[in-house]
Amino acid sequence: MKKLLFIILSTISVFTLAQNHLPTFEEVISLRNVGSVQISPDGKDIVFTVSSTDWGDNRYDTEVWLSHNGDKPFRLTNTSKNSSSSPQFSPDGKWISFVSDRGNKNQIYVIRTDGGEAMAVTNEEDGVSYYEWHPDGKRIIFIKTEKESNAKKEREKRYGAFETDDREYRLSHLWKIDFNPEMPDPAEFPCYETVDSLKEKAGCIVLPKAQRLTEGNFTVARFLVSPDGNMIAFTHRPDPLINSGFKTDISILDLSSREVKKVVSFPSGDNLQDWSPDSKEILFMTSLNDTLSNYYKNQKLLVINCETGQTRELAKDQDISFGGFTWELTGIYSPCYVRTNVPLYRIDPDDGSMNTARNLPEHVYNVSFARDGRTFAFSGRNGDQLTEIYVSVIGGTPRVITGMNNQITGWKTALSEVITWKSKDGTLIEGVLHKPKDYVSSKKYPLLVIIHGGPTGIDSPTPVPGSGVYPVLQWLDKGCLVLRPNYRGSDGYGEAFRSLNVRNLGVGDMWDVMSGVEYLDKKGIIDKNFMGCMGWSQGGYISAFLTTNTNVFKAISVGAGISDWMTYYVNTDIHPFTIQYLKATPWEDGSIYKLTSPVTNINKARTPTLIQHGEFDRRVPIANAYELLQGLRDRKVPVELIVYKGFGHGISKPKERLAATWHNWQWFNKYIWGEEVELPLGEQK
């Protein structure tokens, strides 16, 4: 009896421990994530990507996985030192293609659906970017960047390396290559050099040579082959520079005559979405003539008849930020953010009406349909889950294919609640409040505020929040609440809400954050004497604004944040962003730049501030970090700047992400909890 009691108590103890595991920083960073998904034409197979963490090589690895006939998925590729991505099924469903760098730039590879080794289809000197199968299955269309000019090479031999700003680039164009499934793999046959002076190779199996499809002084950004295989619709712009995206037009290439006809050319950027199933129409998005506010205003969803040139608008009355449409036999589909959820919408292509697909998770991301237009695969999740891959039919009950949530079984995850409050100007603001598992409603907790980027980003409920560089689960376990506000400008709340940031950046955002703090304080659940704030990119900018305009926080962390809008304007790679939101250059209206810049009120700053920034950040150049750093130093405010070497706007390697997580842990633990934390060295047990 005693032995039985011991076994029962031991089992309960083990179960309790299993349900209360606090993950390490490394475990959070090591979470595997599903990415893009494709379903086979017959709807039987599903291929998708999974990203994982390779600590040894300090990189994130993406590989292709396959679920065959509904069976448990298995990894299809294993690319040493690099990744495999962009999987697609051939039109007959017998082959899976993908892009991978296996020592000779990104090339297209194919592997049989029923197994075997991968075989290269291309061998392009500068690699391949976007690609798509031709519907006949005998050709693959792809985009390739032109070779570096001989003139530039000769110039560098004499004068070294230099470039003229916005003048140095290479164009990309459309190419095609034949695909012969019976062709032997060149690696399986010997190849000899002849002894004559020409040194030609004899008896070799060589890959088909690619043929160029487009010419001209423009660059191709994206394309779609028509379902009947006769045409290619493609987007193009004068050059590949980031700000030229606003000059994107849409043309059609007739594959038989090789004639190119421009079909969409509004002053703003025109974004190709999909062909109609009968190949007669093209679905696209555009801001029409608006080139001054398309960062935050809704785009129009239009259909153009390729023969007549007539257009019609769909979903006219929907106040939604569209994107990522697919046109199937059963309708037009797209996931769209609505507040903190992402439902899948269906649009009727005839009358433009719009409704929500039923029986799906709260968040639907990538969607891929089979040939019947009813069976589809997608990635998605509910608010208390990690993202999984599902398969379903329209109106049916989805079946989960993957098991990503097994990774967090037994973890101490976050409890999430969507809350709403009024900002200073009466605007309703939503946010996600995360609580620890052992939350007690009668207790007052320290509060940490984490602000998303964008500004058109959005936060939603999740069991593992802040898995970038903020150790949220560990802070929750330490005993605090975490608020992630969807401040004005966030996506999912309509055009008018996004427009509230115009000539009000920082100022209105501060209202939204501080009113959220006051809301929680009135509920009696936070201790305002112990609060911190942090964010990256636009969230870093708002955090910097709070550093110099408030004194309510004990500590703040500014990640890749703007400190001075003029400094940002003259250094960033997206100058139009500043003009669209502030409606002036600094030479035209310096006052709005001062009003919205954190450094303007640097003399009021008192809050200990950690600054984190990538060394080669072009989006928010590091000059912003140094300007804030020097201003705070001059005011004798406790401040540290940590520069992550070799990185741009984000921290894209696991070891540096781990370092940034530890830096935030040290900073806030010191100023919120009064703890001095040393950065651990050596292997962790």
In the chain, what are the domain boundaries?
Answer: 315-409, 410-672
Among residues 646, 647, 679, the alpha carbon closest in space to that of 663 is found at 679
Dist CA 568 CA 26 (whole Å): 34
Residue 6 has pLDDT above 80, yes or no: no
Residue 196 has pLDDT above 60, yes or no: no
pLDDT, residue 4, reads: 40
Work out the pLDDT band at 169, boundaries 50, 70, 90: confident
Residue 26 CA, distance from chain mean position: 22
Residue 480 CA, distance from chain mean position: 29
Spatial contact of 500 and 510, defined as CB atoms under 8 Å apart:
no
What number is the average pLDDT over the span 366-392?
96
Dist CA 536 CA 452 (whole Å): 7
Q: pLDDT tens for residues 43-99? A: 999 999 999 999 999 999 999 999 998 889 999 999 888 999 999 999 999 999 999
Question: How many C-alpha atoms does 31 have within 13 Å on its Cβ side?
Answer: 26
pLDDT, residue 185, reads: 64
Which of 79-83, 466-470, 647-651, 661-665 is the least confident region? 466-470
Work out the pLDDT band at 163, boundaries 50, 70, 90: confident
Q: pLDDT tens for residues 423-446? A: 999 999 999 999 998 899 889 999
Instruction: For strands 249-254 and 131-133, give the pairing.
Output: unpaired
Q: pLDDT tens for residues 528-571? A: 999 999 999 999 999 999 999 999 999 999 999 999 999 999 99
Q: pLDDT tens for residues 457-505? A: 999 999 999 768 999 999 999 999 999 999 999 999 999 999 999 999 9
* First and final C-alpha spacing in the chain: 38
Q: For every residue of 498-551, which 3-state class applies, written as one string?
A: HHCCCCCCCHHHHHHHHHHHHHHHHCCCEEEEEEEEEEECHHHHHHHHHHHHCC
| Cis upstream peptide for 586 (omega within 30°) | no
Which CATH superfamily hosts domain 410-672? Alpha/Beta hydrolase fold, catalytic domain (3.40.50.1820)
Identify the helix (H) or strand (E) that includes residue 584: none
Q: Give me the amino acid identity at 651.
A: I
Work out the pLDDT band at 184, boundaries 50, 70, 90: low
Rg value, the chain, Cα: 27
Among residues 599, 600, 574, 570, the alpha carbon closest in space to that of 586 is found at 570
Place of tokens 């929907």: 318
Handedness of CA 334, 336, 341, 347 (dihedral sign): negative
Q: Give me the amino acid identity at 120.
A: A
Handedness of CA 368, 373, 376, 381 (dihedral sign): positive
- The chain-wide mean pLDDT, for the chain, equals 91
Determine if residue 316 is left, alpha or beta; phi over 0 gives left, psi from -120 to 50 gives alpha, anything else beta. Answer: alpha
Neighbours of 290 (CB within 10 A): 16
Strand order in the sheet with 399-400: 363-369, 375-381, 388-393, 399-400
CB proximity list for 683: less than 8 A, separation 6 or greater: none
Work out the pLDDT band at 5, boundaries 50, 70, 90: very low
Spatial contact of 285 and 299, defined as CB atoms under 8 Å apart:
yes
Work out the pLDDT band at 15, boundaries 50, 70, 90: very low
pLDDT, residue 158, reads: 86
